[in-house]
């Protein structure tokens, strides 16, 4: 029964703070290394697409960001479930510290997709199921962030934000399956978890590297934000005072 005890301890702010501080540089460092490889292999080594030419290279930022825009919301929904059912305060904090990075990835998805759509589809935007549901996802992120600050009682606001994260997650499968369920301007999936991907390995490997890099970046960013949030929540306690006085430590 060592694991549950370890997990239980991780819920305590100073323990999580130290745990996050140790992992954070590794997450950022590995993400940077993978991104260097992914960008070099994707922008330089991979050949141009036979239909889309070099414009396809936007895939290396657009697709990992799109995957993360959905993955972060699912993460938030799971954390919100834990926060609402077991009243775990750290889970509540994680919902709110994950949201800005999720919103950032969603914004990147929308903007780079729009930039890609202009030369390929001849339009910056279309009210197509995939594009529209991704825009709704962006507003859901903003809603979670705004709701947490909309209540005078801080705890009530955070619980409302958790509730929205939990309910809003129904939009994630809509985004994911939009290209399958409806006739969409957006192209169908080319990378499949099961079965053969319709993309050449020389284009696929850099994409997978960028996808793992984006996940590690999210973890690093989540740790960084959660640490600051814990310092704020626990302001006045001895460990926070010690931490804030330690100079040159980020």
Nearest of 159, 220, 223, 239 to residue 16 by alpha carbon? 223
Distance from C-alpha of 90 to C-alpha of 117, rounded to nearest angstrom: 40
Determine which residue in the list 100, 135, 157, 233 makes contact with another protein, applying CB under 8 A: 100
70 with 175: CB under 8 angstroms?
yes
Length of the chain: 250
Which of the ranges 74-82, 184-192, 194-202, 222-230 carries the binding residues for another protein, by CB under 8 A? 222-230
Which of the ranges 79-87, 100-108, 138-146, 181-189 carries the binding residues for another protein, by CB under 8 A? 100-108
Determine which residue in the list 1, 3, 5, 238 makes contact with another protein, applying CB under 8 A: 238
Using rule CB under 8 A, residue 65 touches another protein: yes
Using rule CB under 8 A, residue 48 touches another protein: yes
Distance from C-alpha of 159 to C-alpha of 154, rounded to nearest angstrom: 9
Which pairs with CB-CB distance under 8 Å and at least 24 residues apart come from 90-93?
90/10, 90/11, 90/13, 90/16, 92/158, 92/159, 92/162, 93/226, 93/229, 93/230, 93/233
Determine which residue in the list 41, 58, 63, 147 makes contact with another protein, applying CB under 8 A: 58
Using rule CB under 8 A, residue 135 touches another protein: no
Using rule CB under 8 A, residue 55 touches another protein: yes
The residue ranges that bind another protein (CB under 8 A) are: 43-44, 48, 53-55, 57-58, 61-62, 65, 100-101, 104, 107-108, 111-112, 115-116, 118-119, 217, 221, 224-225, 227-228, 231-232, 235, 238, 241, 244-245, 250
């Amino acid at each position: 029964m060592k694991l549950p005890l370890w997990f239980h301890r991780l819920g305590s702010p100073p323990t999580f703070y130290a745990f996050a501080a140790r992992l954070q540089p590794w997450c950022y460092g590995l993400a940077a290394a993978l991104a260097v490889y992914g960008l070099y292999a994707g922008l330089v080594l991979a050949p141009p697409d036979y239909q889309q030419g070099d414009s396809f290279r936007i895939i290396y930022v657009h697709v990992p960001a799109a995957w993360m825009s959905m993955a972060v919301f699912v993460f938030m929904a799971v954390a919100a479930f834990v926060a609402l059912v077991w009243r775990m305060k750290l889970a509540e904090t994680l919902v709110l510290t994950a949201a800005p990075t999720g919103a950032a990835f969603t914004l990147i998805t929308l903007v780079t997709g729009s930039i890609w759509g202009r030369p390929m589809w001849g339009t910056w935007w279309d009210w197509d199921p995939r594009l529209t549901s991704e825009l709704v996802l962006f507003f859901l992120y903003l809603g979670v962030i705004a709701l947490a600050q909309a209540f005078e009682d801080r705890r009530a606001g955070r619980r409302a934000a958790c509730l929205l994260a939990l309910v809003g997650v129904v939009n994630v499968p809509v985004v994911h399956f939009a290209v399958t369920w409806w006739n969409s301007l957006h192209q169908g999936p080319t990378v499949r978890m099961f079965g053969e991907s319709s993309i050449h390995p020389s284009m696929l490997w850099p994409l997978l590297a960028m996808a793992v890099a984006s996940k590690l970046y999210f973890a690093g960013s989540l740790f960084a934000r959660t640490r600051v949030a814990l310092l704020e929540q626990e302001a006045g306690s001895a460990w926070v005072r010690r931490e804030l006085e330690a100079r040159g430590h980020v």
